[in-house]
Amino acid sequence: MQIRRYLACLILGAPILSTAGNLAGLEGEPVEPLAANHRHRAVAYVFMGTDCPVSNRLAPEIERLHQTFSSRGILLRAVYPGHTATEVREHRQAFSLTLPAFVDAVGTVAKEMGITVTPEVIVYLFHGDKKEPTLNYRGRVNDVYSRLGQGRPAATRHDLREVLEGIAAGSPLPLRITQAVGCHVGR
């Protein structure tokens, strides 16, 4: 059902983040995450869970990607569905995360986007003055987990890094979808 809805958004050109007003910054301020980002090449939303071992294991890699690509016109943003601002602040401090974070307190945005696990990433490309961004990637950060509870010592595929490298080089890859592995969203 979620895949059909997602594909319908792509085919019909409907805004994919129509409930963006449900996101809040850590001080409770409402956030419009896709507004005024035309000066950037892309934005990547990483849906994370504070109590998810998969999110926690990948947190250092997510921060490295943020550090690498923020100066190259690509924004990385953490979205925490079902968490409070206090939980998010504590998580960011525990893992030394500096990427901007948003609270999706009741999981409305995650639900609308079809996010069922954390971590899962969605990357949008911006096209100059065109208002609506286009979806470029949806899926995992890398393949360090083949299924929940079955991790590798190190990743063999770096899906998100490959996508961001292509965008930064001015040669975005075609739309790509991988299967995210992680903890169920909805506490």
pLDDT digits over 140-170, tens only? Answer: 999 999 888 888 999 999 999 999 999 999 9
Residue showing tokens 């071992």: 53
pLDDT at 11: 38
pLDDT at 31: 74
Residue 130: pLDDT band with limits 50, 70, 90: low
Q: Which residue type does 96 have? A: S
Give the 3-state DSSP-derived string for the chain, with helices as H, strands as E and coil as C.
Answer: CHHHHHHHHHHHCCCCCCCHHHEECCCCCEECCCCCCCCCCEEEEEECCCCCHHHHHHHHHHHHHHHHHHHHCEEEEEEEECCCHHHHHHHHHHCCCCCCEEEECCCHHHHHHCCCEECEEEEEECCCCCCCCEEEEEECCCCCEEECCEECCCCCCCHHHHHHHHHHCCCCCCCEECCCCCEECCC
Backbone angles phi, psi at 63, to 5 degrees: -65, -40
Percent of the chain's residues with pLDDT above 70: 82
Looking at the predicted structure, is the pLDDT value of residue 43 above 60?
yes
Q: What's the whole-model pTM score?
A: 0.85
* 3 state DSSP class of 90: helix
Distance of CA 91 to the CA centre of its chain: 16
